[in-house]
């Protein structure tokens, strides 16, 4: 996943008579997947070239949509410090003089977003921005409680519980371009509420309105309730359907996966397995939140519709012994294993009916 940006350079400069620091960063986005290794490119030079390297301060910060800043990394000469969840995963690339790039190892879902590279020399400073994108999959989510039951914070937690994060607008827009069609509005990570429509119809905001991502704008995070749009990426493990002679209820499903050295798969893990492992199974099974689902890559008769997708049969009584179970087993040494694996690309579209994704 190491990407060279020797040609694509975007320059921001603030020059004056005292000499200026000029920072250069890559335009567009750098792209990896969960578990991958990625370089956030940033270079600097001085005009005139008179700087003492030991007095150069390099600072990386993550910037949210609401312009909140989280410290990632800072270096002054040979002194370096890494902050919070980035500890043990972030280091300077050190590819020669003027290189302020950092390398992030074992990328997490939470690493997605926009980063600021700031270089300071005494009183002079300059900044550049790099966007880190992840290959992944967006899925709509609602809990056993039903539709439109989650405020923003509950939606955020619901995605986290299913091995995912709240999707960004750009992630949802990309999913819509790939065919995601969903008639219920859900929270996104910036606090807005949106939903993607590929096939306009009267029950989804009038048939005459064009296809697109419909936007309710920013809603009250505590008082208003919607579904959630979650985003997940490549797995550090494997999802599989547990072959058994007998169907199981939910408590039996938990024990069956446990006995097999696994855990019941979370919803996000099942979607990631569908997208990246091309998991295709026409058998309904329990997943961790108590819903019944199954992943279809190659649509066929009696497998729930003509489009690929993860079918959702809802939340039955947990005592029903009518289903199999999907289990998730972590990779041994998954952090190391994932940095060497190339992401699998698939052009599979989403199911286009509200009941089948």
Task: Tell me the C-alpha to C-alpha distance, in Å, between residue 335 and each of 2, 3, 89, 195, 310.
Answer: 16, 20, 11, 34, 27
pLDDT > 50? residue 229 = yes
Q: Which residues touch 152 (CB under 8 Å, ≥6 apart)?
A: 187, 191, 219, 221, 222, 224
| pLDDT-derived band at 122, boundaries 50, 70, 90 | confident
pLDDT > 60? residue 200 = yes
More confident residue, 8 or 84: 84
pLDDT > 60? residue 353 = no
pLDDT > 50? residue 346 = no
Please provide the average confidence, as pLDDT, over all residues in the chain. 87
Q: Are 332 and 261 in contact (CB under 8 A)?
A: no
Residue with tokens 């008639």: 183
Per-domain boundaries in the chain: 22-134, 136-232, 234-330
- Identical fold for domains 22-134 and 136-232, yes or no, is no
Distance CA 256, CA 248 (A): 9
The 10 Å Cβ neighbour count of residue 250 is 21
Q: Which residues touch 140 (CB under 8 Å, ≥6 apart)?
A: 182, 184, 186, 227, 228, 229, 230, 357
309-312 and 324-330: which strand pairing? Answer: unpaired
Q: Are 193 and 226 in contact (CB under 8 A)?
A: yes
User: Which CATH number is associated with domain 136-232?
Assistant: 3.10.100.10
Distance CA 349, CA 328 (A): 24
Helix residue spans in the chain (DSSP H)? 152-161, 169-177, 250-259, 267-276, 334-340
Distance CA 264, CA 276 (A): 19
- Residue 83, pLDDT score: 97
Question: What is the phi-psi region of residue 159: left when phi exceeds 0, alpha when psi lies from -120 to 50, beta otherwise?
Answer: alpha
Residue with tokens 């977003």: 113
- Residue 206, pLDDT score: 77
pLDDT > 60? residue 314 = yes
Q: Which residues touch 255 (CB under 8 Å, ≥6 apart)?
A: none
DSSP state of 323: B
- Residue 49, pLDDT score: 66
Superfamily of domain covering 22-134: Immunoglobulins (2.60.40.10)
pLDDT > 80? residue 110 = yes
- Residue 160, pLDDT score: 98
**Which pair of tokens denotes residue 108?**
């997490």
Task: Tell me the C-alpha to C-alpha distance, in Å, between residue 231 and each of 155, 163, 177, 204.
Answer: 12, 9, 15, 23
Average pLDDT over residues 136-150: 97
Average pLDDT over residues 179-183: 93
Q: What is the pLDDT of residues 249-281, one digit of tens each?
A: 999 999 999 999 999 999 999 999 999 999 999
Task: Report the sign of the C-alpha dihedral through residues 53, 57, 61, 66, in that order.
Answer: negative
User: Which CATH number is associated with domain 234-330?
Assistant: 3.10.100.10
- Residue 343, pLDDT score: 36
Q: What is the pLDDT of residues 36-93, one digit of tens each?
A: 999 999 999 877 666 677 789 999 999 987 778 999 999 998 899 999 999 999 999 9
| pLDDT-derived band at 103, boundaries 50, 70, 90 | very high
Distance CA 315, CA 37 (A): 38
Residue with tokens 């089948």: 356
| pLDDT-derived band at 6, boundaries 50, 70, 90 | very low
- Single out the residue of 306, 354, 39 nearest to residue 198, CA to CA: 354
With pLDDT > 90 as the criterion, what percentage of the chain qualifies? Answer: 71
Q: What is the pTM of this model?
A: 0.84
């Amino acid at each position: 996943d190491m990407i060279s940006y020797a040609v694509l350079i975007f320059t921001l400069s603030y020059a004056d008579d005292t000499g200026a620091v000029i920072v250069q960063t890559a335009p567009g986005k750098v792209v990896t997947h969960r578990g991958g290794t990625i370089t956030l490119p940033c270079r600097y030079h001085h005009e005139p070239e008179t700087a003492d390297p030991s007095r150069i301060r390099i600072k990386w910060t993550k910037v949210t949509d609401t312009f909140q800043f989280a410290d990632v990394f800072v270096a002054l000469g040979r002194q370096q410090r890494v902050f919070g969840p980035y500890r043990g995963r972030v280091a300077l690339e050190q590819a020669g003089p003027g290189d302020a790039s950092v390398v992030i190892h074992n990328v997490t879902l939470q690493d997605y977003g926009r980063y600021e590279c700031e270089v300071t020399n005494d009183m002079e400073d300059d900044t550049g921005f790099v966007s880190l994108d992840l290959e992944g999959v967006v899925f709509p989510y609602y809990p056993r409680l039903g539709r439109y039951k989650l405020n923003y914070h509950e939606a955020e937690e619901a995605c986290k519980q299913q091995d995912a994060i709240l999707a960004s607008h750009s992630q949802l827009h990309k999913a819509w371009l790939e065919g995601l069609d969903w008639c219920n509005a859900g929270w996104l990570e910036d606090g807005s509420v949106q939903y993607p429509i590929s096939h306009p119809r009267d029950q989804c905001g009038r048939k005459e309105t064009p296809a697109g991502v419909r936007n309710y704008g920013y809603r009250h995070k505590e008082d208003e309730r919607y579904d959630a749009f979650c985003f997940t990426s490549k797995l550090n493990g494997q999802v599989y359907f547990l072959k058994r002679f007998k169907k199981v209820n939910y408590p039996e499903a938990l024990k069956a996966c446990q006995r097999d050295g696994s855990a019941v798969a979370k919803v996000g893990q099942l979607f990631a397995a569908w997208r990246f492992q091309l998991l295709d199974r026409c058998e309904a099974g329990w997943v961790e939140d108590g819903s019944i689902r199954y992943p279809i890559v190659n649509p066929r008769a009696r497998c729930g519709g003509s489009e690929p997708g993860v079918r959702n049969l809802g939340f039955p009584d947990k005592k029903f012994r009518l289903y199999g179970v999907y289990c998730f087993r972590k990779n041994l040494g998954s952090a190391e294993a994932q940095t060497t694996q190339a992401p699998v690309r698939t052009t599979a579209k989403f199911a286009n009916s509200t009941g089948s994704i």
